[in-house]
Each structure stands twice: as structure tokens, then as C-alpha cells.
Homo-oligomer: A and B are copies of this chain.
Amino acid sequence: MAKFKNSVGLTEKKKFTFEEPLCLESGEEIGPVTIAYETFGKLNTDKSNAILICHALTGDSHVAGYYSSDDLKPGWWETMVGPGKGIDTNKYFVICSNILSGCMGSTGPSSTNPKNGKPYGLDFPVVTIQDIVKAQKKLIEHLQIEKLLCVIGGSLGGMQVLKWASFLPHMVGSAVILASTLRHSALAIAFNEVARQSIVNDPNWNNGHYYDGQKPSIGLSIARMIGHITYLSDESMRQKFGRRLQGKTDLSFDLDVDFQVESYLHYQGAKFVDRFDANSLLYITKAADYFDLTSPNEIESLDILKESGTKFLIVSYTSDWLYPTYQSRSIVKVLKKNGLDVSFCEIEADCGHDAFLLPSEKLTNMITGFLRARPKVKKDAI
């Protein structure tokens, strides 16, 4: 099929379940845990060409390709992952899994709690980026890969990459971190808290027990609207919407939607509630807020990272105000201070935080070059 040209084509969501409980940073345990994942390309015989892609806040394992020939929409990073693309599936074995606490096949608050046969809801434990990475590690071990050639991710995915590199440095050959941060800022926490408040104050939320009734769709939709604003930029919103009216030639002089930007946000909110679980958003935003690689507990990890030889590519975007360039520069600074090999690039882009997901020849070339320059993982180096 024409759309499968330059694509990984048909893909399939797979599931891996491990029975032994996962010990979490909170001290709690969870198990069994299922991780939904997809793979693209072929693992070579010495298992040295595996790349793990970590998805952002509301992403999933479906990074590229189509689930069926009727499927209209490819995976979320189709422009980057595929044969001959930036992350070339002819060369690399690409893995992407849905994060722990997600709602796209991995264990999360909407999954069945084995203790009572009902959805976990708020009985799901609060997880951290480290817990998410620990669950991913189980998958990588299940795939019998001892060391990843590269771990790549943007935004919340970038936090996972940073955690992989600092928590499991000897499993990470190289790391690409896009539009991310060493620690979640007060501004980012603030937006997340408003999003959470919007959800938990929806009467249908019902303290997290809504799985057999009406969903807190309005709260979740407003949360998504807030999120969407932070993914764009003043400039991109000006270009994309300006003050253009939605389906009318004059102001309505009522309290309904007048402007295209309002209509766009409503559309994004409504679309989101069809695909995402409100409780998952609560848990994942909390994991983001808890992320701080500069906290005193993390110093030791950075010490271990020093000896790993992991190589880094850090990328930021000029108009990203959610994780601005200075935050990427902080990553660079910390890594360099630890004597690590770090490349850094700030890409000129008007489109805000979302830039890392949009097609970019510059980013594609940079990732291609970075992956090519990395020596293949040698067994004796593990």
C-alpha cells in the first residue's frame, strides 16, 4: 500500500507481564505488571542495535506504522522512525513501550486490581519516573538485551532517558534528550496542578471510581486544553489562529466560542477524552512533578553515570516555554561537569514545546549522525 512506503507498515501491540512485584520509590509494591510495547526492525545477532524510545505525557507504544490497512493515522513519530528515516528501522531494532501508570495497554489506574478484581482507581500507587524506567528495564531484560545502543525521548520521555542514563548507566550506550529538563519547574508543576484540579473537581470523577459510570470527561477535556496551550507558543498561536473567527464573520456578542483558537482547544479536549484515562493523567503528571535529578538523592547516580561512557545529545527549541532552553543547558552543564561526552543544539522553531514531535530535517539529520557516530555496543564493554 502506498502509505506503507517509507513506513514500518503494519505493526502490532504486544504485551509482556511480569509477576514478581515491582518495588516502587514510595516503598509500595505493585504486581503483576503488564507492559504494552511495539518493536520495529530486527534485533541483530549480537543484540547491539536496540534503541528504546520513551514516549511523552500522553503518548503510547505506537511510535510508528499502522495497526491495520484501514488505519488512517500512523504512530506518533512516523516522521522519525522507519526505513531510511532518522531512526532507521533497516539498521536498528526500535522498541517503544507504554509507561507504567498509562492507559494504553500497560498497567495503570484503569487496570484490574488483582486484590479485588476491580479497576485500581486511586488504589494505584503513585509512581515516579524511576519506577517507570524500572518497569521498562524488565521489558528490555525480557527481550534479552543487555545494553541499549541508545535511549531516546522528548519531554516526559526525556526525563525517562535521563533516569535511564543515571539509574542504569551501564545499560545505556547513548542518550538523546529532546525538549526536557533535569527537574520539573514550579511553572510546569503549576500547570499540572491546575489540570489535576480540573479533573478531580469534575463530579463524575467520583474519587477515581468512574470506570463503570460516566467519565470525568469535562474535567479531563479542560485539563487537556490547558496542556495544549503549554505545548504551543505565542508565535505559533498567532500564526495558526490569530484572531480569526470560527465559522462566523462577526463577533457573536454572547458567551459562546467566537475565535478559532477556542474552537481548536475544544476540539483537542474532546478528542483527548476518547483516548485517555483521567486517572492516568493524574498519575503521570505527578510523576513529572516529582522528577528532580538535582535532588540530593540523585548525586550518587550521577557519580555512577561518570563511569558509564554514555554519550549524550541534548536538543532544545527556541520557543519552548514549558521546558525552555536554559533547562536543557542545565542538563548539558551537569553532564559535562561529570566529564561526559555531550552534544547540544538549540533548534530555531516557532512552534513551542510541540516542536520536538514535528517533522524537522535538522533534528532528523542530527539524530542520524549521532547514531551513526556511536560505536556499536561491544559485548566486552558491557
- A residues contacting B by CB (< 8 A) are 25-28, 122, 125-126, 183-187, 189-191, 193-194, 196-198, 200-203, 218-219, 221-222, 225-226, 229, 232-234, 237-238, 240-243, 251, 253-255, 257-259, 261-262, 265, 282-283, 286, 289-290, 292, 321, 324
Assess whether A201 is in contact with B185, with CB atoms less than 8 Å apart: no
From B203, B232, B243, A203 is in contact (CB under 8 Å) with: B203
Assess whether B255 is in contact with A186, with CB atoms less than 8 Å apart: no
CA distance A242 to B262 in the complex (A): 31
Q: How far is the CB of A24 from chain B (nearest CB, A)?
A: 8
Assess whether A254 is in contact with B126, with CB atoms less than 8 Å apart: yes
Given A238-B186, A242-B186, A292-B243, CB of A255 within 8 Å of CB of B200 = yes
Most chain-B CB neighbours within 10 Å: which of A226, A233, A237, A283? A226
CA distance A286 to B255 in the complex (A): 7
Assess whether A237 is in contact with B194, with CB atoms less than 8 Å apart: no
From B126, B185, B193, A238 is in contact (CB under 8 Å) with: B185
Assess whether B186 is in contact with A225, with CB atoms less than 8 Å apart: no
Provide the residues of chain B in CB contact with A197, threshold 8 Å: 221-222, 225
CA distance A28 to B252 in the complex (A): 12
Chain B's closest residue to A327 (CB) is B234
Tallying the copies of this chain within the complex gives: 2
Main secondary structure of the interface of A (DSSP, over half): helix
From B189, B218, B233, A261 is in contact (CB under 8 Å) with: B189
CA distance A183 to B242 in the complex (A): 10
Provide the residues of chain B in CB contact with A292, threshold 8 Å: 243
Provide the residues of chain B in CB contact with A242, threshold 8 Å: 186
Task: List 9 extra interface pairs beyond A186-B238, A201-B202, A258-B289, CB under 8 A.
Answer: A185-B243, A186-B259, A193-B257, A194-B222, A197-B222, A200-B255, A234-B324, A251-B290, A259-B289
CA distance A290 to B254 in the complex (A): 11
Shortest beta-carbon contacts, A-B, top 8: A26-B253, A186-B237, A186-B261, A193-B262, A186-B241, A126-B253, A187-B234, A201-B218
CA distance A289 to B260 in the complex (A): 12
Query: Please, could you name 5 A-B residue pairs with CB atoms under 8 Å apart, sorted by A?
Result: A185-B234, A186-B240, A190-B265, A196-B255, A201-B219
Provide the residues of chain B in CB contact with A25, threshold 8 Å: 253
Q: How far is the CB of A120 from chain B (nearest CB, A)?
A: 13
Q: How far is the CB of A275 from chain B (nearest CB, A)?
A: 20
Assess whether B126 is in contact with A259, with CB atoms less than 8 Å apart: no
CA distance A25 to B257 in the complex (A): 18
Q: How far is the CB of A287 from chain B (nearest CB, A)?
A: 11
Q: How far is the CB of A379 from chain B (nearest CB, A)?
A: 39
Provide the residues of chain B in CB contact with A125, threshold 8 Å: 253
Chain B's closest residue to A228 (CB) is B190
Chain B's closest residue to A239 (CB) is B186
Provide the residues of chain B in CB contact with A283, threshold 8 Å: 255
CA distance A251 to B265 in the complex (A): 33
Provide the residues of chain B in CB contact with A218, threshold 8 Å: 201
